[in-house]
Chains A and B, each alone.
Chain A
Amino acid sequence: AQTVTQSQPEMSVQEAETVTLSCTYDTSESDYYLFWYKQPPSRQMILVIRQEAYKQQNATENRFSVNFQKAAKSFSLKISDSQLGDAAMYFCPIYGEGAQKLVFGQGTRLTINP
């Protein structure tokens, strides 16, 4: 079985500042992927970043980077230079090669203060 926990229901940050969203997971699988998706008010789920568990190097995509701690089963997202368009619900699902389905956490609502 796989589980994901996002312990921060809501976060807020000032525009241009840096914010980190937390995510912990549990899985019995050896091959798995971790993702961060954002869901703005438009409701479209947008892939932000992905991390293959076998890769030790943390993934980065422009202003978005992850801190993947495999032993601790932690997968946090850092957003640098926050912009108003970053305001959204953020989810960090896990995909296991055995289960072949995504398992989601509760989500974190991020507010950007101008």
Chain B
Amino acid sequence: DVKVTQSSRYLVKRTGEKVFLECVQDMDHENMFWYRQDPGLGLRLIYFSYDVKMKEKGDIPEGYSVSREKKERFSLILESASTNQTSMYLCASDRPRGGYQPQHFGDGTRLSIL
């Protein structure tokens, strides 16, 4: 069965800390995505990557960066965490070529910034 794994289910950090959220997929998917989920706003795309070492800004990239050194791993980085980054973060992956297949999601990381 396909799997997208996020390193932490819950995470508590302090304002100003550098925070890393890790995501690994075992499906050999080209594309990987980071979303932020907030009540009443649905899922909003932060960054995505369509290949190793490639990245594209999504709709809300400010305050975030990403890293994709290997095909299966996509990291989201909060350079200097702030309280307004308290949220649920979801990672996903898909394969666009050979006919689109729906995105598979991880279980999410609920991040609290104190």
**Beta-carbon contact of B42 and A95 below 8 Å:** no
A-B pair number, CB within 8 angstroms: 45
Specify which chain A residues have a CB less than 8 angstroms from the CB of B102 in the assembled complex.
33, 35, 47, 50, 95
Tell me, rounded to whole Å, the shortest Cβ–Cβ distance linking A108 to chain B.
Answer: 10
Docked Cα-Cα span, A103 to B48, in Å, equals 13
User: Are the C-beta atoms of A107 and B45 separated by less than 8 Å?
Assistant: no
Instruction: Tell me the chain A residues, 68-114 only, with Cβ under 8 Å from chain B.
Output: 91, 93, 95, 97, 100-107
Task: Determine if B83 is an interface residue (Cβ-Cβ < 8 Å).
Answer: no
Stretch at the interface among A13-21, A37-45, A54-62: A37-45
Secondary structure call for the B interface = strand
| Interface secondary structure of A, over-half rule | loop
- Give a binary string over B43-63; 1 marks a CB under 8 Å from any A CB, 0 the rest: 111001010000000100000
Q: Judge whether B12 is part of the interface by a CB distance below 8 angstroms.
A: no
Pair A43/B88 contact, Cβ less than 8 Å? yes
Q: Is the CB of B40 within 8 A of A9?
A: yes
B41, A100: Cβ atoms under 8 Å? Answer: no
B43 with A101: CB separation less than 8 A = no
Contact-size category for A = 20 to 34
Cα–Cα, bound, A97→B99 (Å): 10
Q: Supply 4 further A-B pairs (C-beta < 8 A) apart from A4-B42, A102-B43.
A: A91-B42, A95-B100, A101-B48, A102-B33
A residues whose Cβ falls under 8 Å from a Cβ of B: 4, 6, 9, 33, 35, 42-45, 47, 50, 91, 93, 95, 97, 100-107
Q: Which residues of B contact A (CB under 8 A)?
A: 31, 33, 35, 40-45, 48, 50, 58, 88, 90, 92, 96, 100, 102-103, 105, 107-108
